[in-house]
Amino acid sequence: MAVVNRCAVGIFPSQKLLDWARQHDLDVDAAGVREPCLYLIPDYETEEEAEAILEEVYEAIFEAELDYWHRDTGTWPAERTYRCSASGSTCASTP
């Protein structure tokens, strides 16, 4: 059996993301916002390494989160920078 060293990062939607979802009449209560969406990222040793990894993968995670909420990419926020992504969600990671 092969061992794959990965860490999980849990993404909780922030109030900013919930407000965006409500603007589009999405039922945020039915979407299970109390449970995080989990993503696997490469293993890391320090918080600085974790931050560097998140900077590399934020766009894919942010777009996956937006797609989960609403498939129409035309309604997605135009600004999808790392800073915007970080302010759009709360992230909890475990090595």
pLDDT in tens, 8-57: 888 887 778 888 888 888 877 765 567 788 899 998 888 889 889 988 99
Find all residues with CB under 8 Å of 90, minimum gap 6, and list them.
11, 12, 13, 14
Contact 82, 58 (CB under 8 A): yes
**pLDDT at position 86, please?**
54
Distance, CA of 59 to CA of 56 (rounded, Å): 8
Both structure tokens of 94: 């475990």
Distance, CA of 40 to CA of 43 (rounded, Å): 9
The residues with which 13 forms a beta bridge, in sequence order, are 89
For 45-71, what is each residue's pLDDT tens digit? 888 898 899 889 988 988 898 888 888
**pLDDT at position 94, please?**
47
For 73-89, what is each residue's pLDDT tens digit? 998 887 777 765 554 45
Say what the pTM is: 0.73
